[in-house]
Amino acid sequence: MNSAPGTTKAKQQHQPVMPVQVLNGLCVKREGKFVDATYGRGGHSSLLLEHLNNEGRLLVIDRDPQAVSAAKQRHGADPRVLIAEACFADLGEALESCAWAKVDGVLMDLGVSSPQLDQADRGFSFLHDGPLDMRMSPQQGISAAAWLDNADSTEISRVLREYGEERQARRIAQAIIRQRELNPLQTTKQLAELVAKVLGPAARKFNKHPATRTFQAIRIHINDELGQLQQGLKAAMHALSVGGRLVVISFHSLEDRIVKQVFKAVSTNPSVNRRLPMPDLPEPEFKNHGKQLPTATEIEANARSRSAVLRVLERVRKPQSEAVL
Ligand SMILES: C[S@@+](CC[C@H](N)C(=O)[O-])C[C@H]1O[C@@H](n2cnc3c(N)ncnc32)[C@H](O)[C@@H]1O
């Protein structure tokens, strides 16, 4: 992933998802302050920077130290760019350390980047044999191998069912426990082969590897992706100035459900009992601009975009706590 930006190879590898919708969703002001909370390899950041003038500022964040190094290499010399290794759940602290109170827009492009998937030694992919790690930040938490070696069957089964929607969760969990009594799982290939053996040839339907759901589930658990998302949304909404936008791109239904529910909850008044006197409810602080999907042309050009769902939220009023009485 180190090819120079602008080369054909770089364009193929760093293709940002739904670029036009991201720029429109953020409603980019040339002198605005923006946050790319999931830098990856900077596809969206580079686009944003093209639309900022010398007064504009972009804070880029990623929890993966390799992404942060890439950001320093690519944008370190740009005085408009600030770079932080952080989780987006801690966005508030990252903003504080830049002395930024409010921002005009935050982008969250969820999930893993192509370099994370492509590098065998990160342990994210059943397509490349490597150590069973799966941590986005290798300094935080425990590896997938360590977790699978210690969790009990009920816990493994719950994770596979809840985060992978894997119907054979119990059988896979039991096979993992049996295997680790002989030899703990240490590589992605060992896990992928074990799952394929449990599920049998029928599971190879629709050209999907049988271990797809298991890998997704373990990755979500190891990185606490859904907890991060809940906290990240809260921190981002809090950071928006009036007129500021939050754009979130998710790639599976578990993430999108959370984004959809949170955006709906903050942009509507709770339903009231019509038989009781109307309570004096404050107007919602946010406007929900709904969801957008990639075009057929984009899906054809960039297969990674096929499951993307983009949602936009706008702050339309100051938080109650900050409103002048
Ligand atoms: C889909 S990639 C982003 C790609 C990027 N938009 C681009 O155009 O290159 C997602 C990135 O978000 C990072 N990430 C995921 N969860 C995160 C979190 N909770 N906090 C900070 N970064 C996170 C991952 O490490 C990964 O680099």
> For residue 217, what pLDDT is reported?
97
> For residue 9, what pLDDT is reported?
40
Mutate to test the pocket of ligand 1, among 113, 228, 234 (most ligand atoms within 8 A of CB): 113
Interval between CA 224 and ligand 1 midpoint (Å) = 14
Q: Are residues 245 and 210 part of one domain?
A: no
Query: Does some domain include residue 255?
Result: yes
Whole-model pTM?
0.92
Confidence of residue 13 (pLDDT cuts 50, 70, 90): low
> For residue 281, what pLDDT is reported?
79
Q: Are residues 245 and 297 part of one domain?
A: yes
Please identify, among 222, 255, 287, the residue that sits at the C-terminal boundary of a domain.
222
Confidence of residue 276 (pLDDT cuts 50, 70, 90): confident
Strands (E), the chain: 33-36, 57-62, 81-85, 103-109, 240-250, 286-292, 309-315
- Residue 188: which CATH number? 1.10.150.170
Query: Does some domain include residue 291?
Result: yes
Please identify, among 197, 222, 247, the residue that sits at the C-terminal boundary of a domain.
222
Say how many domains are in the chain: 2
Mean pLDDT confidence for 215-238? 98
What is the C-alpha to C-alpha distance for residues 4 and 90, in angstroms, rounded to an integer? 31
Q: Are residues 235 and 215 part of one domain?
A: no
Neighbour tally for 164: CB within 10 Å: 24
Q: Which atom of ligand 1 is closest in space to residue 14's alpha carbon? A: 9
Q: Which atom of ligand 1 is closest in space to residue 41's alpha carbon? A: 9
> For residue 153, what pLDDT is reported?
97
Confidence of residue 313 (pLDDT cuts 50, 70, 90): very high
Tell whether ligand 1 has an atom less than 6 A from the beta carbon of residue 228.
Answer: yes
Domain membership of residue 49 as a residue range: 8-114+225-322
Query: Does some domain include residue 2?
Result: no
Tell whether ligand 1 has an atom less than 6 A from the beta carbon of residue 255.
Answer: no
Interval between CA 152 and ligand 1 midpoint (Å) = 30
Q: Are residues 151 and 189 part of one domain?
A: yes
Mean pLDDT for all residues in the chain? 92
Tell whether ligand 1 has an atom less than 6 A from the beta carbon of residue 66.
Answer: no
- Residue 81: which CATH number? 3.40.50.150
Residues 6+ apart with CB under 8 A from 145: 123, 131, 132, 133, 184, 185, 186
Tell whether ligand 1 has an atom less than 6 A from the beta carbon of residue 310.
Answer: no
> For residue 110, what pLDDT is reported?
98
Nearest CA to ligand 1 atom 7: 43
Nearest CA to ligand 1 atom 27: 40
Interval between CA 296 and ligand 1 midpoint (Å) = 24
What is the C-alpha to C-alpha distance for residues 112 and 116, in angstroms, rounded to an integer? 6
List the single range of 39-43, 54-58, 133-137, 206-210 with lowest mean pLDDT.
Answer: 206-210
Tell whether ligand 1 has an atom less than 6 A from the beta carbon of residue 115.
Answer: no
Q: Are residues 235 and 109 part of one domain?
A: yes
More confident residue, 270 or 35: 35
